[in-house]
Homo-oligomer: A and B are copies of this chain.
Amino acid sequence: MGEIRKPSMKTWAAIFLIIFIAIGVAMLPQLNEYGKESVISATENEFMYEKSIHILVMLLMGFGFLMVFVRKYGYTSITATYLAVAVSLPLYMLVRPYLWGSAADISITNISMLLFAEFAAASLLIAIGGPLGRVNTSQYLIIGSLFTPLYAVNEWLLFSGAVIPAGAFLDTAGSVMIHAFGAYFALGMIIMLTSKKEREIAVETSKRSNEFALLGSAALWIFWPSFCSALVSVEKIPLVAINTILALCGATLATYAFSIFIRGKIEVSDIANASLAGGVAIGATVANVTPGWSMLIGLIAGAISVIGYTIIQPRLQKATGRVDTCGVHNLHGMPGIFGGLIALGLVASPMWQIAGVTISVVLALIMGLIVGFIASRLGRKEIPYDDKEEFILPG
């Protein structure tokens, strides 16, 4: 039984071009919406607009450059980021209105639709951090096209009220729905997307590539308060902003301390990544806790994340032979679940909270496995962690 013959780069480019024209055409009827009044005031729309731009910074500059840490793979990391954003935003906006949602949330006469789409894109970017460097650009597009509707399904399970009662699951800024879902989707995928050869190859970095990663990290740190406050009511924004920042401060300091405790010296990729774990973990409860607690949650999240990078990931990788390139399990997976579980102390019924976390993680793992399988059948990257197969390089 031989390998399926993989389509060429050009064939894939043509297929995706057709898909994108189709998406554009499929969106044309939505134009009718534009006669309608927005249910959100112009001022509230404007406030959300600002946050939607801030989240775009996180997507393209934040996640994008954080993934440039792979020395010979910077062009692909950024291109994959561009493609993931460009595929998920329109696809989500196309799919979501057919799936669920009140007019207030999803009409394209207000900005919240864009925010929901950006959250989907964020979760997708987390997911591709797992197999980063071992798939080619067409596979990123395949993953993005399949991930986006599946993400919307999980969102429907958690928040539409059809399964879990409306309001019973607390996850204001997506510790679970965005971060943990993306991370466990990544873990599902890498089971299918790590070849034997790739288990042995070290991911190379350089001073330059790590400095770009720090830039991406800074972009995420800075705009995280807008990620957390994008959909909260206006009067909650000061609290949410301060809580988010204190959680990030806590995680930054814990990262510094634990990086030294465990490694003896500071690993700069810990600083770039684990410092953000406070933002991941505070997401679920950011509108419900106080600044002091936010800082403590951040401290714990930073510690969890560094322990993940230094102790858990190497063991997991050895045991399973699977490579999580960006360590998304350490930054988004464990801190995301931790964030979801903190909410247990704040919700009316802990059962629904546990149900929400469990649904997200299990669905992500299974769907990641399936999408990883499909992607693995439809492409193969020959030289891992290197741009040269697909890009024209200078000199």
Q: How many copies does the complex hold?
A: 3
A16 / chain B contacts, CB cutoff of 8 Å: 253, 256-257
Q: When each residue 48-65 of chain A gets 1 if its CB lies under 8 Å from chain B and 0 otherwise, what string results? A: 011011101100110011
CA distance A108 to B265 in the complex (A): 36
A211 / chain B contacts, CB cutoff of 8 Å: 68, 74-75, 78, 208, 212
A52 to B, closest residue via Cβ: B241
**A277 → chain B closest CB, angstroms:** 13
Segment among A286-294, A329-337, A342-350, A360-368 that sits at the interface with chain B:
A286-294
Picked from B20, B108, B225, the residue with its CB within 8 Å of the CB of A242 is: B108
Picked from B114, B221, B257, B290, the residue with its CB within 8 Å of the CB of A31 is: B290
Q: A4 contacts the other chain (Cβ, under 8 Å)?
A: no
Given known pairs A20-B299, A89-B249, A234-B46, the reply for A239 and B291 (CB within 8 Å) is no
A229 to B, closest residue via Cβ: B49
Interface residues of A in 72-86 (CB under 8 A from B): 74-75, 78-79, 82-83, 85-86
A27 / chain B contacts, CB cutoff of 8 Å: 246, 290-292, 295
Picked from B56, B57, B252, the residue with its CB within 8 Å of the CB of A82 is: B252
Given known pairs A10-B261, A21-B299, A252-B82, the reply for A109 and B238 (CB within 8 Å) is yes
Are B60's CB and A291's CB within 8 A? no
Q: A103 contacts the other chain (Cβ, under 8 Å)?
A: no
Are B268's CB and A391's CB within 8 A? yes
Are B79's CB and A45's CB within 8 A? no
Picked from B43, B212, B241, the residue with its CB within 8 Å of the CB of A43 is: B43
Picked from B79, B239, B265, the residue with its CB within 8 Å of the CB of A109 is: B239
Are A290's CB and B34's CB within 8 A? yes
A208 / chain B contacts, CB cutoff of 8 Å: 208, 211
A1 / chain B contacts, CB cutoff of 8 Å: none
Given known pairs A64-B218, A295-B90, A392-B265, the reply for A13 and B260 (CB within 8 Å) is yes
A249 / chain B contacts, CB cutoff of 8 Å: 85-87, 89-90
Q: A111 contacts the other chain (Cβ, under 8 Å)?
A: yes
CA distance A295 to B75 in the complex (A): 24
Q: A163 contacts the other chain (Cβ, under 8 Å)?
A: no
Are B24's CB and A394's CB within 8 A? no
**A91 → chain B closest CB, angstroms:** 9
**A157 → chain B closest CB, angstroms:** 26
**A205 → chain B closest CB, angstroms:** 4
Q: A313 contacts the other chain (Cβ, under 8 Å)?
A: no
A267 / chain B contacts, CB cutoff of 8 Å: 391-392
CA distance A114 to B204 in the complex (A): 39
Q: A207 contacts the other chain (Cβ, under 8 Å)?
A: yes
Picked from B43, B223, B394, the residue with its CB within 8 Å of the CB of A204 is: B394
A162 / chain B contacts, CB cutoff of 8 Å: none
A250 / chain B contacts, CB cutoff of 8 Å: 20, 24, 86, 90
CA distance A222 to B53 in the complex (A): 7
Q: When each residue 244-256 of chain A gets 1 if its CB lies under 8 Å from chain B and 0 otherwise, what string results? A: 0110111011101
Q: A235 contacts the other chain (Cβ, under 8 Å)?
A: yes
Given known pairs A90-B295, A219-B61, the reply for A265 and B9 (CB within 8 Å) is yes
Please provide the 10 A-B residue pairs with the shortest distance between their CB atoms, ordered closest to farther: A31-B290, A27-B292, A28-B292, A24-B295, A86-B252, A86-B249, A13-B257, A17-B257, A13-B260, A42-B234
Given contact pairs A10-B261, A13-B261, A27-B295, enumerate 10 new A-B contacts (beta carbons under 8 Å): A13-B258, A17-B253, A17-B254, A17-B257, A21-B296, A21-B299, A61-B222, A74-B207, A78-B214, A108-B242
6 contacts across the A-B interface (CB closer than 8 A): A29-B292, A31-B291, A45-B235, A46-B234, A87-B249, A267-B391
